[in-house]
Amino acid sequence: MGKTVDFIVVFDDGVRKRHYHETQKGRVVYFAFQLEVKVGEEWKTVIRYDCSHRFSHMDKYDIKGNKTKISLDLSFESALTFGDWDINENWPKYKEGFLKGVQYG
């Protein structure tokens, strides 16, 4: 039986991280987490780390919802650790760039 971790971290007014991952026998089998910024009444994804295409990757979004996919040559465990650290550490820069139309990372 696996374990599921699912939570939201509020960084600032209108800035949050949604985090979800599953483990089986101590190994990460699925993860998806993203930085979101509230624009008007809508939450928009700024940066997302996941493994939905069976490989670890990061998607960067612009304010219109266009995305750029960047493959990460990392195990699911390493991508989860790195991506979580990256968002926790760099969310102010990502938020500012997103709202100004500049992609960082």
22 DSSP β-pair partners = 4, 30
| Mean pLDDT for back-to-back runs of 10 residues, the chain (105 residues) | 93 97 95 96 97 93 93 95 96 95 67
Looking at residue 105, its pLDDT comes to 53
Q: Is 101 left (phi over 0), alpha (psi -120 to 50) or beta?
A: left
CB neighbours of 15 closer than 8 A, spacing ≥ 6?
Answer: 35, 36, 37, 38, 91, 95
Looking at residue 103, its pLDDT comes to 63
Looking at residue 104, its pLDDT comes to 59
Looking at residue 1, its pLDDT comes to 72
